[in-house]
Chain A
Amino acid sequence: MRPESSGVQVSAHFLRKRETVNQIAKYVLMAAAAISVLVTVGIVYVLVSEAVVFFEEVSVWEFISGTSWTPLFAVPTFGILPLLSGTIVVSGIALGVSIPLGLTLAVYLSEYAPDKVRETVKPILELLEGVPTVVYGYFALFLVTPLLQIVFPDLPGFNMLAPGLVMGIMILPYTTSLSEDAMRAVPNSIREGAYALGYSRFHTAVKVVIPAAISGITAAFILAMSRAVGETMVVAIAAGQMANFTFNPMEGAATITAFIVQVSMGDVSHGSVAYMSIFAAGLVLFLLTLTFNLIGFFLRKRYRQAY
């Protein structure tokens, strides 16, 4: 018997209903997209407009080249460099700890660990993610710094080394978990192809899996970097809150975010130049993370591979 070829009958009513749902879904999704764009634009608008008022009082040149940041002093100075150096040093230490450790751990979990080990370690890492940052701050101040002082007796109680190291541990769940996800998303058939050529486990991981997962791994590090640059509490607690233009991790310093909380929680009057300065500092922070994200975007575009 030959099968019917006239097709299943579809009612006009059904088609009309389907079209309506389609249209509604389209507008709801467009509205959601529009809201997120509007919020972003709003934030940028506030940052920029307040910063413009600030730059009417303080010259841009003084802001970007000054090596002293003392907005709360009787004779205030507004050089962003000390805050920038603090941010760079602390984030640099954090990434220096987190990238190699996170990548190694991710390779181990994705390519070496038996299922049982992976299923135990991943939840523990995610638990680490849930610890409040204040706890990390006091951990740096009261445990890590004293321990470091055993090795470096000259290390002051407030320094950038301890919060940097602790922050490295703090962002480890991001770097590990995201780069592990990226590596596990590499299809097994590609791994088998490498092994079939005689690749060892290590070679397969380093020469095939990591390159294939590079866009995800880059994303992990970009996210970690944004996290490190934007992190506040650990530094505010353990590095002291004195802006200090230095790249020596053995000294205390303030970062951009540490300064922002310090001012917004203090009794600086609204509309004063000191108050405005947090918007200028915030703008710098925004540009910094934007740059990282753009770098990440272009790196990913360069390495993008579809399986």
Chain B
Amino acid sequence: MSTDQTSTIQISQSAHQGGQAGKPSETREHWYLEPDGALRARVSNLKFWYADGTQAIDDVSMPLVDKKVTALIGPSGCGKSTFLRCFNRMHDLYQGVKYSGSINLLPEDENLIDLDANIVRMRVGMVFQKPNPFPKSIYENVIAGLKIRGIRKREVLDEIVETSLRQAALWDEVKDRLHQPALSMSGGQQQRLCIARALAVKPEILLLDEPTSALDPIATAKVEDLINELSGNVTVLIVTHNMQQAARISNYTAYMYLGKLIEYNDTNDLFQRPKCQRTEDYITGRFG
């Protein structure tokens, strides 16, 4: 793929021009939309290597639109989680990993890769693929992030606990057992608790790694409602295996394949008029 462009704007323009030049869509390798709205971040030529030398992200460039939901789709092992975890520098916990390229936060124009990882994580929240509540009470789980931000007033904490749990569609189930261990809950409840825990600190960017894969259809619908509510307030980047879900909840969708970004487009356009053959194969189920 072309790596000599200095910014993604040029890449996307050249893709447009390529299209105008009458190239058939079947041979188009990549296609990136340049969205209208304000951006929260711009990823440029991001590459990532694990300690064993595996390159899991290969030259990905894409915008992240402010206060909108962006979905990441792609076959298992294509690097979606790896990409997501670059945004809160989760990889830094392990020795020997390597980044190149940048994730520029806008409008402040700071490269997130160069910032202090703790500062980044204060601003970027995350819900993991597997529920990971702390072995503490439900209440303590929700306030875990607030305590290290110096919020200690009981009334404030109580209020945030209730709103966060309501947002995560968990309040009615746990309001009478807030002080029981989180690990006594079902897997789906634990995942919603993790969502509440992430929401409680009001992150600027929220990363969700298949947040509903452990949930039943009712809880999934509630979480999807929540994500719809969040758009407009928070910038959300969500990984999902469920294409209907991506279509329902996201404004923009990125399709990844083997560590590369194949297509980034308006969600409706990507699912109805994919620009690349690979995207079409994937969303029509001919592959993956």
Contact = CB atoms under 8 A, between A and B. Distances in A.
A187 B134 CA distance: 10
Contacts of A62: none
A200 interface: yes
Interface in B94-123: 95, 118, 121-122
A195 interface: yes
B136 interface: yes
A197 to B, nearest CB: 4
Nearest to A213: B135
Given A197-B197, A305-B181, A189 B121 contact: no
Contacts of A3: none
B179 to A, nearest CB: 15
B128 interface: yes
Interface of A: 114-115, 187, 189-200, 203, 207-208, 211-212, 305-307
Contacts of A208: 134, 144
B211 interface: no
A198 B201 contact: yes
A192 B132 contact: yes
B141 to A, nearest CB: 9
26 contacts: A187-B132, A189-B130, A190-B132, A190-B135, A192-B128, A192-B132, A193-B128, A193-B132, A195-B121, A196-B90, A196-B126, A196-B128, A197-B125, A197-B144, A197-B201, A198-B118, A198-B148, A198-B201, A207-B144, A207-B148, A208-B144, A211-B136, A212-B134, A212-B135, A306-B135, A306-B183
Q: In this complex, which of A187, A195, A198, A306 has the most chain B Cβ atoms within 10 angstroms of its Cβ? A: A198
Contact of B125 (A196, A203, A207, A211): A196
A192 B126 CA distance: 10
Interface in B235-256: none
B1 interface: no
Contacts of A190: 132, 134-135
Given A190-B132, A192-B132, A212-B135, A197 B145 contact: yes
Contact of A211 (B126, B135, B198, B201): B135
Nearest to B184: A306
B135 A195 contact: no
Contacts of A195: 90, 93, 121
A200 to B, nearest CB: 5
B194 interface: yes
B79 interface: no
A198 B181 CA distance: 22
Given A191-B93, A307-B183, A198 B122 contact: yes
Given A115-B95, A203-B148, A194 B134 contact: yes
Given A197-B145, A199-B118, 11 more contacts: A115-B95, A192-B128, A193-B128, A193-B132, A193-B133, A196-B125, A197-B201, A198-B148, A207-B147, A211-B135, A305-B135
A11 B148 CA distance: 62
Contacts of A192: 90, 93, 128, 132
B118 A200 contact: yes
A187 B133 CA distance: 11
A197 B148 contact: yes
Contact of B144 (A114, A189, A194): A194
A306 B184 CA distance: 9
Nearest to A303: B135
A192 B133 CA distance: 10
A107 to B, nearest CB: 16
B237 to A, nearest CB: 14
B286 interface: no
Contacts of A203: 148
Nearest to A190: B132
Contacts of B121: 195-199
Given A193-B194, A196-B90, A197-B148, A114 B135 contact: no
A102 B14 CA distance: 61
Closest 3 CB pairs of A and B: A305-B135, A197-B145, A198-B122
Interface string B184-206: 00000000001001100100000
Interface string B138-169: 00000011011100000000000000000000
A187 to B, nearest CB: 8
